[in-house]
Structure 1
Amino acid sequence: MDLLSYQRTVFGFHGCDKRVADAVLTGKTKLSASENTYDWLARGFYFWEHGPMRALEWAIQQSKRKNSHIKEPAVIGAVIQLGTCFDLLDVKFTHELARHAATLEQAMAGQNMPLPRNQRVGIRDGDWLRRERDCFVLKYAIPEVEREWDCQFDSVRGVFQEGAPAFKGAGIKLKSHIQIAVRDPRAIIGYFLPDETLLLSPATAS
């Protein structure tokens, strides 16, 4: 068996506008891959692994921004086969990322060019929401690893400690999550509409 291939299916959740969710579910349109320079896991179709409430929180937050394309927050679920996954929860991949980051930084320094910097958004942002450096390095490192290992990565997976502490003095954060960026859309087996109870906190559901 290919040691790179996870052969593992997970559920992912994507926050979006209700019109987009309805159109995807009925097959009228497809999700668009994110190509921002600040994406946390570089390009891909983004999902929160087993995180429907986090997907909804994100969609609600986005809907409050000026000129947001999200007018009615919604969540769409997806069945995802991780396939060949560049998994940043595995030291095999974080070590590779560090190695290629060092090579990239050295090459750019030779041209007197600095790496982009991760940036905070506002004074309350403690999470470096604009991950310009992370994205830049991943865009370089992943193709290099694919070339060296003679493979093609279907997905990228990472864990993020995000948000305020869950309680005073805690190392646990309120918005911590596992995020997946699907690079090959064929890894998305299908979409579904989450049960409404999945989008409610226990206090709200009761």
Structure 2
Amino acid sequence: MREFDYQRLVIGYHGCDASVRDKVIQKGDQLQASPKRYDWLGHGIYFWEHGPARALEWAKEQKKRGKLKTPAVLGAVLHLGSCFDLLDAEYTDMLAQAYPLFVDSTKAAKKTLPNNRPLDASDKDQLLRDLDCAVVNWTIEEFEKDGTAHFHSVRGVFQEGLKVFPKSGIHRRSHIQIAVRDPACILGYFQPPSKR
């Protein structure tokens, strides 16, 4: 197994259709990285860190939108490898410093700067994170292009949803999310026990 710099194992949960979960568990299929332009942490295979209930809630939301049939959760043991960890000021500082360079690069290429945007009129969290995705992808690609660093995963924390009570700083859907860029970080999958 390849040596990883970032020595941290975590349990992650992937919300998906039961057919995807079953193919991974029973047939050894692999999850595919999401290439969506609005993914919060750039391109990767997404997991909720230690959040099976939030993963299932997300899968149920996808069913309501007609994107999957039977909501399910797939568990995984993850080794974060060299992690672009946005819970560490070193990496948020890097991202802040990269942003103006990203803007300059976008303008030089005569492209339109992406924006984060709401999913619908009721979305106050701007769930479609086109700008965040573009900046994270660009920053990591720049590090990799010049050989400065190679990142296996990206990790971030998000406050999302309604406040749990008036004037609270705690939100109902707050979570830590991981985008696995290198599938070698996924050490194994498991089917979490279902709650009754």
How far apart, CA to CA, are the structure 2 residues paired with 1:112 and 1:184? Answer: 31
Does the CA contact (< 8 Å) of 1:96 and 1:145 recur in 2?
A: no
Q: Give the match for residue 21 of structure 1.
A: 21
Please, which moves more after superposition, 13-22 or 104-113?
Answer: 104-113
How far apart, CA to CA, are the structure 1 residues paired with 2:108 and 2:30? Answer: 42
Q: Give the match for residue 94 of structure 2.
A: 96
- CA drift of 1:148 comes to 4.9
How far apart, CA to CA, are the structure 2 residues paired with 1:54 and 1:108? Answer: 35
Please, which moves more after superposition, 149-158 or 37-46?
Answer: 149-158
- Cα displacement string for residues 151-175 of structure 1 (whole angstroms, at most 9, x for unaligned residues): 3111000000001111111111000
Does the CA contact (< 8 Å) of 1:105 and 1:114 recur in 2?
A: no
> Share of identical aligned residues, percent?
49
Q: Give the match for residue 173 of structure 1.
A: 171
Taking the TM superposition and a 5 Å limit, the aligned residue runs for 1:56-75 are 56-66=56-66, 68=67, 70-75=68-73
Q: Give the match for residue 202 of structure 1.
A: none
Does the CA contact (< 8 Å) of 2:41 and 2:156 recur in 1?
A: yes
- CA drift of 1:187 comes to 0.4
- CA drift of 1:138 comes to 1.1
Alignment gaps of 5+ in structure 1 = 198-204
Taking the TM superposition and a 5 Å limit, the aligned residue runs for 1:10-159 are 10-66=10-66, 68=67, 70-110=68-108, 113-148=111-146, 150-159=148-157
Does the CA contact (< 8 Å) of 2:154 and 2:178 recur in 1?
A: yes
TM-score normalised to structure 2 length: 0.92
How far apart, CA to CA, are the structure 1 residues paired with 2:75 and 2:109? Answer: 45
Alignment gaps of 5+ in structure 2 = none
How far apart, CA to CA, are the structure 1 residues paired with 2:144 and 2:93? Answer: 15
- Paired residues, number: 193
Aligned Cα root-mean-square deviation (Å)? 1.6
